[in-house]
Amino acid sequence: MSYVDEVYDLVVAKNPAQPEFHQAVKEVLESLRVVIEANEDAYRKDALLERLVTPERQILFRVPWVDDKGQVQVNNGFRVQFNSAIGPYKGGLRLHPSVNLGIIKFLGFEQIFKNSLTGLPIGGGKGGSDFDPKGKSDREVMAFCQSFITELYKYIGADTDVPAGDIGTGAREIGYMYGQYKRLTGLYEGVLTGKGLSYGGSLARTEATGYGLLYLTEEMLKCNGKDIAGKTVVVSGSGNVAIYAVQKAQQLGAKVVTVSDSTGWIYDPEGIDVALLKEVKEVKRARLTAYAAARPSAVYHEKKNGEHGVWNIKCDVALPCATQNELNLDDAKALVANGVIAVAEGANMPTTMDATKYLQENGVLFCPGKAANAGGVATSALEMSQNSERLSWTFEEVDSKLKNIMVNIFHNLDAAAKKYGLDGDYVAGANIAGFLKVAEAMTAQGIV
């Protein structure tokens, strides 16, 4: 049996009931096959793949907090410190009821390659909790965040592990966590990114993932003789990534006609009104029904079971920006039937493996999340640099560095795909380019 298949079987056997983790590992290992097989004996002797798929450390903890009725609530807390070969662990904290160890491991595993692709010195990690911030008061969210950090602070630090936002963790949560970390340690250091601008945050970090997604998409289209201007775009999600993807797509001359949340989706043929979307989502923390109520051109659709509405709308470019496995084979068929030319993932692993294959086989330009959404973590690394030198850069400075990073990522994965005879397979290109740097660092550092 080939080394790649052996290691995949081992992952499934050793990590039962973690389907998302298996999926992430399978996708990466499948595309590394050509690289591994060229050097199989050396990699096998060093157990390089076994070490790559096994987190360096996993921290699982209890998070007790008191709700507004005086009732004690208990959540599960997680931090998976996956790989520190090329830098301190770096990756977000997800707060969502669906969070479990397998979800955090899939995200942490993806993060290793994503962070490598940025070209910046950051290792891979991820964390979070099954706490649901939705419908909670600010005081309840603060109580949870303080309890979460009261345990996690022992394991993180500006030079060891630097968490940030993800689903359910935005500026409010990062603020409460930072305050508690500072109180417990007495340190004013860049231990978290996505901080507010008044206490060490970076300009353009809020916008970075969505903007970066569009910078990369623009470059991918350009290198294939196409232009983002004038294109019709469908976006899923209406959180941090989606909002700034919509904004940048419009700035680049595209028309975005959809957004969604977990209960429904909007079709707005006039183009999404970003100011209204921000008011509804960032200020009022309301549902998309509030957007539809304020916008005559918008039609709201309640989400029906198993149906992912936005992918049935005719478009040129599709940008899934909500969550994992939100674009399946039926959705891919609908997109292809409607003439889609490009799909780029703002979310982590939003496209199922069979859907990815279908899109690629039908000539759709497809860029995976570990490359397309790397602008968020890249700008987090720029926030770490600013914190270290105790300076703040201008919006234009950060934004132009972000754009350079995204353009470079595209060219690196394109070149890696070509080098291994997989021209146009950007999934393989991203996995190979991300892997090679980490593998070289792991090999150089010996058996650790």
Residues that bind ligand 2IT (CB under 6 A): 90-92, 114, 164, 166, 193, 348, 376-377, 380
Residue facing ligand 2IT at closest CB distance: 92
Q: What is the chain's alpha carbon radius of gyration, rounded to the nearest angstrom?
A: 21
Query: Which one of the listed residues 126, 195, 248, 255 is annotated catalytic?
Result: 126
Nearest approach, Cβ of residue 221 and ligand NDP (Å): 21
Residue 148: left (phi > 0), alpha (psi -120 to 50), or beta? alpha
Nearest approach, Cβ of residue 105 and ligand 2IT (Å): 14
Residue 323 binds ligand NDP (CB under 6 A): yes
- What part of residues 325-364 is at the interface with ligand NDP (CB under 6 A)? 346-348
Nearest approach, Cβ of residue 380 and ligand 2IT (Å): 3
418 is catalytic: no
CA–CA separation, 285 and 239 (whole Å):
10
Alpha helices in 95-253 (DSSP H): 101-117, 138-152, 171-185, 205-223, 240-251
Alpha helices in 362-394 (DSSP H): 369-372, 375-389
Instruction: Say which entry of ligand NDP, ligand 2IT, none residue 237 contacts (CB below 5 to 8 A, set by partner kind).
Output: ligand NDP
CA atoms within 13 A on the CB side of 214: 27
Sign of CA dihedral 203, 145, 377, 120: positive
Nearest approach, Cβ of residue 126 and ligand 2IT (Å): 7
Residue facing ligand NDP at closest CB distance: 239
Residue 206 binds ligand NDP (CB under 6 A): no
Residue 128 binds ligand NDP (CB under 6 A): no
**How many residues bind to ligand NDP according to rule CB under 6 A?**
24
Nearest approach, Cβ of residue 91 and ligand 2IT (Å): 5
Q: Are 317 and 335 contacting, i.e. CB atoms less than 8 angstroms apart?
A: no
Residue from 218, 261, 383, 414 in contact with ligand NDP (CB under 6 A): 261
Q: Are 438 and 85 contacting, i.e. CB atoms less than 8 angstroms apart?
A: yes
Kind of pairing, strands 57-66 and 89-95? unpaired
Kind of pairing, strands 57-66 and 232-236? unpaired
Question: Which positions lie near ligand NDP, rule CB under 6 A?
Answer: 96, 98, 165-168, 209, 237-242, 261-263, 321-323, 346-348, 373, 376
* Active-site annotation, residues: 126
